[in-house]
Amino acid sequence: MSTATLAKSEYEQENRSWYKRNEISITPWLFMAPAILFFMVYVIIPIFQSFEISLFEWDGLGAREYIGTDNYVELWDDPAFYTSLRNNLIWLILYLLAIPAGLFIALFLNQTVVGIRLYKSLFFFPFVISQVVVGLVFTWFYDPTFGLFNTVIGWVGLGPINVLGDPTYVTYGIIAAGLWPQTAYCMILYLTGLNAVDPEQIEAARLDGAKGWKMLWYVVVPQLKPATFIAFVVTIIGALRSFDLISVMTNGGPFGESRVLSFYMFEVALSEYGFRMGYGAAIAVVLFLIMLFFIAYFLYSMYRDERGR
């Protein structure tokens, strides 16, 4: 009898469903499937489609015409493209100012006084309001007739400067507006980071006579490395996809001097006078390659950190 039972149970085991047998390895994939599906449909496949469309001349309505790399050739001597690329670089560099600015505000706010929570939330406020609102507020701030900015520089005998209408200042003016919320974002990252700073190490450093800048640079900042990394990532990405502020504040003007690549792509492909899908896609591809450089770097450093543990 007993042998028979054994045989039966063995038999059953072999006949367990395919899913039951592979449960451990399959389940994670099942959970990830929806995410993978949507990531494919909305991110990965469109990337390849952009590559494809950039080889065509297409107005989005009629027939597509294959023109090879003509769009890229045209991009190569398009002055507007270089203006956008230069502005993108200025954005990338100046936007990074948000990181030290955020750090110093965080250090400043990292103390226990009455009402500190209120001050913290007030400093965080610009990040909560919409970029469109930030853009509008700064547009009025810079307004050459009634703007506060010109009133203030008028007190010291300067101006008036038409910040958003002058090709030399316009990009800097918009970046200043963008830095306001971005600084708040970096600040909040550092505030949480500061909570995790080890008080014992501070104590030890203090015993060894470290203070001021040295304390900050050699003791505090290294411990904030994870926060710095995240701040760096979000700031770089924020700089590269700057679009809403430009759209609201200047619409790319005056005469296209404040455009960045993402705005130029929108203008060429999707705006009122645009609809050159192929050319827009070519700009998108260039922007993607620039981003890819940073993304690869971020992924690599994350991978290195994971392995280091």
Partner 1 sequence: MRSILKASAVALVTSAALATGAFADGHKLSGEMKIFLDTSNPAPRATFEGIIAQFDEMHPDLKIETTIIDRDAYKTQIRNFLTANPPDVATWYAGNRMLPYVTTGLFEDVSDLWTGDLAAELASTKTAMTIDGKQWGVPYTYYQWGMYYRKDIFDELGLTVPTNWEEEKANCQKIVDSGRKCYTIGTKFLWTAAGWFDYLNLRTNGYEFHMALTAGKESWTDDRVKKTMANWRELIDMGAFIDDHTAYSWQEAIPFLVDGQATAYLMGNFAVDPIKAAGLTDDQLDFYQFPLITEGIPMAEEAPTDTLHIPSGAANKEAARAFLKFVATPDIQTSMNASLGQLPVNNKASVNTDDKFVKAGFEMLNNASALAQFFDRDAPAEMAKVGMEGFQEFMVRPDNLDQILQRLEKTRERVYK
List of residues contacting partner 1 (CB under 8 A): 59-62, 74, 79, 142-145, 160, 162, 164-167, 250-251, 253-256, 267, 270-276
**Structural element, H or E, at residue 79:** helix 79-95
DSSP state, 5? H
**Least distance from C-beta 256 to partner 1, angstroms?**
6
**Least distance from C-beta 139 to partner 1, angstroms?**
8
Residue 72 or residue 274: which is nearer to partner 1 going by CB? Answer: 274
Residue 173's Cβ-side half-sphere holds a number of Cα atoms within 13 Å equal to 32
How is residue 146 written in tokens? 């009634």
Residue 70 or residue 210: which is nearer to partner 1 going by CB? Answer: 70
Residue for token pair 């690599």: 300
Altogether, the residues listed in the chain come to a count of 309
The Cα 66–Cα 52 span in angstroms is 10
Residue 94 or residue 253: which is nearer to partner 1 going by CB? Answer: 253
**Least distance from C-beta 47 to partner 1, angstroms?**
22
Residue 272 or residue 306: which is nearer to partner 1 going by CB? Answer: 272
Residue 263 or residue 267: which is nearer to partner 1 going by CB? Answer: 267
- How far are the Cα atoms of 51, 178, 183, 194, 197 from residue 115, in angstroms, in the given order? 53, 27, 21, 18, 22
- CB-based contacts of 137: which residues, under 8 Å, 6+ apart? 177
Beta bridge mates, 66: 56
Residue 240 or residue 282: which is nearer to partner 1 going by CB? Answer: 282
Backbone angles phi, psi at 56, to 5 degrees: -120, 160
The residue among 243, 235, 230, 221 whose CA lies nearest residue 96 is 235
**Least distance from C-beta 94 to partner 1, angstroms?**
22
Tell me if 228 sits within 8 A of 203, measured CB to CB: no
User: For residue 174, how many other CB atoms are within 10 A of its CB?
Assistant: 27
Residue 29 or residue 273: which is nearer to partner 1 going by CB? Answer: 273
**Least distance from C-beta 91 to partner 1, angstroms?**
21
Residue 235 or residue 250: which is nearer to partner 1 going by CB? Answer: 250
Residue 219 or residue 267: which is nearer to partner 1 going by CB? Answer: 267
**Least distance from C-beta 281 to partner 1, angstroms?**
16
**Least distance from C-beta 196 to partner 1, angstroms?**
46
Whether cis (ω within 30° of 0) applies to the bond prior to 160 is yes
**Least distance from C-beta 278 to partner 1, angstroms?**
13
- How far are the Cα atoms of 143, 165, 174, 179, 228 from residue 162, in angstroms, in the given order? 7, 5, 13, 20, 35
The residue among 71, 44, 73, 77 whose CA lies nearest residue 55 is 71
**Least distance from C-beta 253 to partner 1, angstroms?**
6
